[in-house]
Chains A and B, each alone.
Chain A
Amino acid sequence: RKEVEQDPGPFNVPEGATVAFNCTYSNSASQSFFWYRQDCRKEPKLLMSVYSSGNEDGRFTAQLNRASQYISLLIRDSKLSDSATYLCAVALRSASKIIFGSGTRLSIRP
């Protein structure tokens, strides 16, 4: 079983739609959780860290469910510029190596 699993997509949604991604992780001892965004042929960029209480950054909301070992990302009012691959990432501790999921491709159409 992979350490971090994501639905590869692609998700193809119209501009303005709300879209949600889920990610599951296998190691229950994991402590740090992240969502990254990766554009084609570019390095990943940190979108947001995920905290136990859930957190929001503008149109983006991240949730963590430790009991079920999954992380979610919700994007509201999607923009064309949101088209990218979204990578879920997990670390045992804040200073540990980060393990990435395979990414979910999102395409926003006009």
Chain B
Amino acid sequence: GAVVSQHPSWVICKSGTSVKIECRSLDFQATTMFWYRQFPKQSLMLMATSNEGSKATYEQGVEKDKFLINHASLTLSTLTVTSAHPEDSSFYICSAREAAQPQHFGDGTRLSIL
């Protein structure tokens, strides 16, 4: 079945650091990738949608300059949390889709900012 790999799975860093999270589709071409954030005991909130080769579309309330998304190839999208602060600590999950096929989720990245 389709596999989406997310890296790293867990990161702890100091406030002010920028953190990059990678999302890779391993056996299909991900024309669209989605980035979600999930705070404890809350739902997955869609942050942005990215199509390969074009700028990401951000959801209302998500700062595009703080959460930089790059989808430069059909198998890789990255999310960079710039100048991360403790309130950015969360579970970040990507999903990927080929054309109109179902989305496949990565296994998430747990980000802790001290």
Binding site for B on A (CB under 8 A): 8, 41-46, 87, 94-95, 97-103
Contacts and interface: CB of A to CB of B under 8 A. Distances in A.
Contacts, number: 40
Given A97-B49, A99-B46, 16 more contacts: A41-B108, A42-B107, A43-B106, A43-B108, A44-B44, A44-B93, A87-B44, A95-B32, A95-B100, A97-B46, A98-B95, A100-B43, A100-B46, A102-B42, A102-B43, A103-B43
Count class of interface residues, chain B: 20 to 34
Interface string B37-63: 000011111100100000000000000
B99 A95 contact: yes
Given A97-B46, A97-B49, A102-B43, A46 B102 contact: yes
A100 to B, nearest CB: 5
B108 to A, nearest CB: 5
Interface of B: 32, 34, 36, 41-46, 49, 91, 93, 95, 97, 99-100, 102-103, 105-108, 110
Contacts of A42: 107-108
Contacts of B105: 43-45
A41 B65 CA distance: 27
15 contacts: A8-B41, A42-B107, A43-B106, A43-B108, A44-B44, A94-B100, A95-B32, A97-B34, A98-B46, A98-B103, A99-B46, A100-B36, A100-B44, A100-B46, A102-B42
